[in-house]
Amino acid sequence: MPKFRKETQVTSVTDTSSSLLGKAANATPAPIASRIRGISDRSMAWLFITPAIVLLLAINIFPLIWAIYLSFTNFRANRPNAPIEGVGLSNYSRVLNDPNIWQAMQTTAHFVFWTILLQTLIGFSLAYLIDRKFRGHAFWTTVILVPMMLSPAVVGNFWRFLYQPQIGLFNYIVSFITGVPPSSFEMLGSVQLSPWAIIIVDTWMWTPYVMLICLAGLRSIPDYIYEAAEVDRASLWRQFWSITLPMALPFIMLAVLFRGIENFKMFDMVTLLTGGGPGSTTEVASITLKREAFESWRTGRASAFAIILFVAVFGLANIYVKALNKVKQR
């Protein structure tokens, strides 16, 4: 692993494709291919690309268009015989005026904020420590990575067991450390603690993800910069703030971007841990959407909500990617 130090690089989402275009223009293999085979590169390219695009059109874009259409109707998937009527923008206005949905968006925002904050702090600290390259750090890095590879549904489900007030290991360990009786607090049942129950599991699962990306960031910093700082007798503290952190920042931001998108979509872990409860304390947007679409079967309204969510993720991600590129150019 240490060998990768100088080769690590970050390329952002939009960046790769533009650099690809540049590269393609420079290398220009086109004349050779067309001279030999007669078939134009353009049709050749489509031959390669079409299958994937067709699949994406069929499974992603066509349904999306369908959903947009449905969002303007009163369609309900469990009333196949009822006539479908256009209702204009009323689904959108009802979704946007529904306090429950705003509540869910707020819950989602809290969840995203705290998980990202914790994961970034812990993940970066771990990466920084692992970059001290103590004996066996490669092995321990792999161990730390394990949780993020597991199924959030299957493993999240098991956390419900760990959080049982009377028999759960989590409560028992907390009680062992703090002396608070294990059955005196309910991680999943109390309004105050249940959001943290979810944040803890998510942090347990995804801190390694942030750590791994931060580690790549730290390893991308060339040694000569530190060497120069050493010559200038810059303190470790100063080195950290003026070299380490700024140079690792694009990586940290990339990690935040990916975690943000993922946690905005969060469904499985919350469903299995609390189902949105107690009351609606942990009801994140995906759970509200699931209830609307697959329990109430108000498909039209649910589609409107889905489109709003999608636009929100897409918009925020785009803004963020721009910011990320700016940081990298600095």
Q: Tell me the CB-side half-sphere exposure of residue 151, using CA atoms within 13 A.
A: 6
Nearer to another protein, 114 or 128 (CB): 128
At its nearest, how many Å lie between another protein and the CB of residue 114?
A: 19
At its nearest, how many Å lie between another protein and the CB of residue 60?
A: 5
At its nearest, how many Å lie between another protein and the CB of residue 34?
A: 10
Nearer to another protein, 245 or 280 (CB): 280
At its nearest, how many Å lie between another protein and the CB of residue 146?
A: 6
Nearer to another protein, 114 or 225 (CB): 225
Nearer to another protein, 196 or 297 (CB): 297
Structure tokens of 105?
A: 């968006």
Nearer to another protein, 77 or 89 (CB): 77
CA distance 186 to 250: 39
Q: What angle do CA 265, 268, 271 make, to 5 degrees?
A: 110
At its nearest, how many Å lie between another protein and the CB of residue 232?
A: 12
Residues with Cβ within 8 Å of residue 116, at least 6 apart in sequence: 256, 259, 260, 263
Residue 69: name the closest of 83, 51, 84 by CA: 84
Residue 272: name the closest of 174, 157, 123 by CA: 157
- 8 Å CB contact between 187 and 196: yes
In the 3-class helix/strand/coil scheme, how is 39-56 assigned residue by residue?
A: CCHHHHHHHHHHHHHHHH
Nearer to another protein, 114 or 164 (CB): 164
At its nearest, how many Å lie between another protein and the CB of residue 155?
A: 7
Structure tokens of 19?
A: 């650099």
Category of 8 on φ-ψ map: left (φ > 0), alpha (ψ -120 to 50) or beta: beta
